[in-house]
Amino acid sequence: MAVTPDIKPVKGGVLAAEGFCAAGVYAGIKTDKSKRDVGLLVADSPVNGAVTLTTNRVKAAPVKWCRKVLQKRKQVRAVAVNSGNANACTGPRGAKDTAETADALAGLIGCKAGEIFVASTGIIGEFLPMKKISSGISKSFRSLGSSPAAAGRFADSILTTDTVRKECAVRVTHRGKSFCIGGCSKGAGMIGPNMATMLSFITTDAHVDSATLLRSLKKAVQQSFNSIIVDGHTSTNDTVILLAGGKSGTRIFGKSWGEIFQTALNLVTLELAKSIVRDGEGATKLVRIDVTGAESHAAARTIATAMARSPLNMTAIHGGDPNWGRFISSAGYAGPNFIEEKAKLFIGDKLVYRFGRPADTPTEELNAAMRKTEIHLLLSLGLGRGKSTVWACDLSRDYITINADYHT
């Protein structure tokens, strides 16, 4: 009989795993001195690394740098990150500034610049203030620590329009062995799908080879960061980095341990992804959209994404308006096969549409379902076994205010 692994939440975020230290400081990139804007995540020794990057054809300089690091190196030492400036659409100078950022940290650690991942987030089209970046890296390096507080300072250093810190960590115990996976994320606007305006940094003290690490990360990202939407705008800087140091002594090998590691990684990435949607710019409600019974998983995903991307749907959800015709309409124009006479739509546990016509659910019950802070839409198509889940948030007046004033 199979033994189910014990997976429990723990404190510590990106430093819950042994073998890493981190810091976050204010370097002057942001105008608000209370907000940290340069962070470092450093491994005690070379570690295996994996990264997934934006699918936008316009890619920021640090994204291009990370791709080169991944291609040339099996092991890395650290991550340098700044917020408040995306270093995107900055041409050769942006590439030079990214290289200088890596050089600055590599010199302090005593490794090669090619062992450093670099990430940036913030305003597009402005050059990095390199004196402030260099000073911030030195200041951050001097304050490196391995405590939960240090992890929190790093998590704060990557935020932009976020209103809350986003952290998650778990400890996995199985057959007398254990390991941790923990991480932090940023993101609130320009959110996906296909990742989003988001950065995420995840560590584990399990021993995982590079190929398994990348394969596991891609699977985890697909069901988490690639399945969230705030405004449907894919960024130039999206980056998810996973580092595996092996300090726990637990080796991930074979099907059983591989599945255990994947389950734990999926849990962490999904929780971080949901925290991004909950903190969507101006958001007041978390929305889960499940599409089942589609002709394929891809078809289900296309329909769920169309429903999540519709401003009409998300404004209705914000207002608590059970205008379910919008939900059905967006599913119908998404592209994949949709047969009205086979479809059913639920808001929470309330059936609102079936087989081409309204259900008889009382309006007051629908109103009550739409007033909740977490909304669940389930669309069953009755055409096959395809299914998909997408997470979104409501669209409010505050979203417009935040983005109308972002640069000014």
pLDDT band for position 191 (cuts 50, 70, 90): very low
Determine the Cα–Cα distance for residues 290 and 301; give it in Å rounded to an integer.
Answer: 9
Over residues 254-291, the pLDDT tens digits come to 999 999 999 999 999 999 999 888 887 777 889 999 99
Q: For the whole model, what pTM was predicted? A: 0.88
Is residue 197 part of the annotated active site? The answer reads: yes
Q: What percent of the chain lies above the pLDDT cut of 90?
A: 77
Q: What is the mean pLDDT of the chain?
A: 91
Over residues 216-248, the pLDDT tens digits come to 999 999 999 888 886 555 667 889 999 999 999
Over residues 130-156, the pLDDT tens digits come to 999 999 999 999 999 999 999 999 999
Q: What's the DSSP call for residue 4?
A: P
DSSP 282-325: T---EEEEEEEEESSHHHHHHHHHHHHH-HHHHHHHHHT---HH
The three-class DSSP label of residue 148 is helix
Whether 288 and 374 have beta carbons less than 8 Å apart is answered as yes
What mean pLDDT comes out for the span 322-344?
94
The three-class DSSP label of residue 371 is coil
For 371, phi then psi, to 5°, come to -85, -10
Torsion of CA 129, 131, 137, 139, to 10 degrees: -120
pLDDT band for position 187 (cuts 50, 70, 90): confident
Strands 228-229 and 386-393: parallel
Determine the pLDDT at residue 236.
77
What mean pLDDT comes out for the span 104-112?
98
Q: Which of 197, 204, 234, 269 is catalytic?
A: 197
Position 192 pLDDT exceeds 80? no
Delineate the domains of the chain, giving CATH numbers in brackets.
6-278 (3.60.70.12), 286-404 (3.10.20.340)
Position 195 pLDDT exceeds 80? no
Determine the Cα–Cα distance for residues 315 and 217; give it in Å rounded to an integer.
Answer: 33
Position 346 pLDDT exceeds 70? yes
Whether 131 and 161 have beta carbons less than 8 Å apart is answered as no
Determine the Cα–Cα distance for residues 115 and 14; give it in Å rounded to an integer.
Answer: 19
For 233, phi then psi, to 5°, come to -110, 110
Determine the pLDDT at residue 381.
97
Q: How far is CA 103 from the centre of its chain?
A: 27
Determine the pLDDT at residue 408.
38
Determine the Cα–Cα distance for residues 317 and 396; give it in Å rounded to an integer.
Answer: 9
Whether 55 and 234 have beta carbons less than 8 Å apart is answered as yes
Q: Quick one: which of 184, 374, 210, 388 has its CA closest to 283?
A: 374
What mean pLDDT comes out for the span 392-408?
70
Over residues 28-42, the pLDDT tens digits come to 999 999 999 999 999
What mean pLDDT comes out for the span 176-192?
82
pLDDT band for position 329 (cuts 50, 70, 90): very high
Range list of H helices, 168-230: 210-222
The three-class DSSP label of residue 97 is helix
Q: What percent of the chain lies above the pLDDT cut of 70?
A: 94
Both tokens of 197, joined, read 């305006």
Q: Which of 52-61, 114-123, 228-237 has the lowest mean pLDDT?
A: 228-237
